[in-house]
Every structure is written in C-alpha cells, then in structure tokens.
Amino acid sequence: MEMTDEIRIKAPKARVYEALNDPAVLKAAIPGCESLEQVSDEELEAKVVLKVGPVKATFGGKVTLDRSGAPDSFSLKGEGSGGVAGFAKGGADVELVADGDETILRYAAKAEIGGKIAMLGSRLINSTAQKLAEQFFTNFSARLAS
C-alpha cells in the first residue's frame, strides 16, 4: 500500500532534518517503538509493537537511512519480522521545503505486510498504516514545535 501526505512543521528546515536523524526523536515519535538503536552510520535497529485488528506483535528489524539527498530529502527503508505474526517491510521518501521559519514535510511511504497479521487484519491494514503514519508525523512535529 502507498501513502502520501504533507504536513507543516513549526521548525526550521535544518532542525527538522537533524531531528529525522536523531534516534531519540524518532523513538519518541514512532508509535509503539520500544527501542531504536544506531548500529552504524546508516543503520538502526528497531523494536516496535504493532497492533492490527486483533493481532498485536513485537516486530524486530533493521532500518536503513539514505542521506544522499541532504538537506532537502531523506529516505529510509526498513524490514522487520514479527515471528508467527508475520513480517513487514517498507520505506519512505521524505522531502523538506523551507517556508520561512517553518518547514513543509512531504512524504511518500510504501508498506508491505505479510503473514498472520495481514490475514487477520487485511481489511484494517490500510487504515491502520495511514493512522500510524499520521501519528508518527504528529508526534514528530509536536516534539519539534515544543
């Protein structure tokens, strides 16, 4: 499934870019994130509790960052396994545009979910993913604006 949206963040572009690279900020913003640790310059290891419909599972996985477009854009890819609950993988392309003291953040995200979590929650997956993405950016911008 694919999701695109844009939000306005009350913080300058440089700060937004920096925050997107800050594991502490990301951990606080990712819904259900239990841990997020930098293992190398481009790689993070994450543990996220994901709930789709009746299935709740802890997904462990890797996130790879692509900073080649800095400071205007930023990509990340990730995949994780929730054991018997299934697997998830996806990525997002984020684009930052300065607008005075504020920043417009556009994102295009893709996700693929398989296994039991997809079976049980097939009718809920799209709405759940949309909600999670919204939650992430809401948390993210709230943290930056404070």
Q: Tell me which of 114, 127, 131, 138 binds another protein, using CB under 8 A.
A: 114
Pick the stretch among 25-33, 65-73, 101-109, 110-118 that binds another protein (CB under 8 A): 110-118
Residue from 24, 49, 70, 119 in contact with another protein (CB under 8 A): 119
Beta-strand relationship, 102-114 and 87-99? antiparallel
Q: List Cβ neighbours of 98 (8 Å cut-off, separation of 6 or more).
A: 12, 13
Question: Whose Cβ is closer to another protein: residue 25's or residue 111's?
Answer: 111
Q: Is 2 in the site for another protein (CB under 8 A)?
A: no
Instruction: Using alpha carbons, select from 55, 35, 46 the residue that is nearest to residue 78.
Output: 46
Task: Please answer whether residues 103 and 97 qualify as being in contact, where contact means their C-beta atoms are separated by less than 8 angstroms.
Answer: yes
Under the criterion CB under 8 A, does residue 122 sit at the interface with another protein? yes
Establish if 112 lies at the interface with another protein (CB under 8 A).
yes
Q: How far apart are CA 6 and CA 8, in angstroms?
A: 7
Applying CB under 8 A, what is the total number of residues that bind another protein? Answer: 16
| Nearer CB in complex with another protein: 42/112 | 112
The span from the CA of 5 to the CA of 101, in Å, is 20
Residues that bind another protein (CB under 8 A): 81, 83-87, 112-116, 118-120, 122-123
